[in-house]
Amino acid sequence: MSTPPVPLGPEQQQQLVNRIGHGLALMAPPGTWRQVRAEYRAAGRHIEADVVVTGQDGVPRPVPPPADLLQLLGTLRAGMYRPGIGTWLGAVLTVDAVQGVGADFGFDREPQWRRTPPPIGFQDELRAFPRADQHVPEWLRRRAAGTQPAPADDDGVRTPRIYDGLDAAGRPLVRRPPLAPAEAGPVLAYLDAAPVILASRSNGPDAFAPERTDAVPLNFRTDGVWAWPGAVAYYLREHGVPPDPELVAHIRARRFTAPAEVSEAATDLALAAITGEAGQTTV
């Protein structure tokens, strides 16, 4: 984060938005989709991204964001930095089959994090994209100081981080304690046993082994409290990547026993958490 931001003019910004939109449109087979929606959230080195493709049937299906898309979004964020004012921490880009490309950038409002970054993430943000004191929102000031609590999750439905960010080359980073050998099997069994609430017929690429282009299950499961993508179990099984520590703690508290089914209300809340439609005005 020590590299100074490279400013982009308005025309360059629009060209990059259009390039990202074109890339999003290519993620869905021609003639089969209504909208592709990407949400990007960042603070310092902390990055979160979600892409959802809504088909002609109106069903939203999550797809893994490719590394080149993340790089372009990072370039756009750095290029939109304004000295003394900062840059956006959250953005929503949509590609509509009829209306084309749209974008919404949040310079001052806090993104709805999947997992709130630690204070150092917000400190890095202010070092990388300096803001004059009057342009530092109160929530950002408190986050950087470590004095603002994380927001409550919508009725307890939470989504985990699959990994802990990306390095400069776009490779996934894992900074979390490993599972004890005796726990790996029970945790994996729990992840695989919870009900599927959203699924795609295809598989996605493996972020840790890019040559595996059709390997990661594109589905989501929930136990009524957490909702997680099939990638969580896949990366644990194939690469030994431990799940989000808070999800692991939850699984332990449930004695590694997943529910056979969840209520319709819990399913609806989990779907809203996955697709980013709960509590948002602007995925």
Is a pLDDT exceeding 70 seen at residue 282? Answer: no
Mean pLDDT (whole number) for 271-280: 60
Flag whether 282 is in a domain: no
Same domain, 172 and 123: no
Same domain, 50 and 109: yes
Separate counts of helices (H) and strands (E) for the chain: 8, 8
Task: Decide which of 280 and 120 is more confident.
Answer: 120
- Boundary (domain end) residue, out of 151, 179, 205: 151
Same domain, 141 and 167: no
CB 107 within 8 A of CB 28: no
Flag whether 62 is in a domain: yes
Mean pLDDT (whole number) for 241-250: 92
Q: Would you state the pLDDT for residue 283?
A: 26
pTM over 0.85: no
Distance (Å, whole) CA 153 – CA 106? 20
Task: Decide which of 269 and 233 is more confident.
Answer: 233
Same domain, 173 and 41: no
Q: Nearest to residue 74, comparing CAs of 204, 165, 210, 208?
A: 165
Per the structure, how many domains does the chain have?
Answer: 2
**Tens of pLDDT along 180-218?**
889 999 999 999 999 999 988 888 889 899 899 889 999
- How far are the Cα atoms of 10, 50, 263, 264 from residue 225, in angstroms, in the given order? 43, 20, 11, 13
Q: Which residue range forms the structural domain that includes residue 62?
A: 10-151
Distance (Å, whole) CA 81 – CA 275? 28
- How far are the Cα atoms of 10, 38, 42, 74, 80 from residue 14, in angstroms, in the given order? 6, 16, 20, 15, 11
Is a pLDDT exceeding 70 seen at residue 153? Answer: no
Task: Decide which of 182 and 147 is more confident.
Answer: 182
Same domain, 170 and 46: no
Flag whether 1 is in a domain: no
Q: Find the CATH number of the domain harbouring 131.
A: 3.30.500.20
Same domain, 145 and 184: no
Flag whether 69 is in a domain: yes
Q: What angle do CA 53, 242, 262 make, to 5 degrees?
A: 55
Same domain, 43 and 144: yes
Same domain, 250 and 145: no
Residue with tokens 């002609």: 56
Same domain, 135 and 206: no
Q: Would you state the pLDDT for residue 148?
A: 56
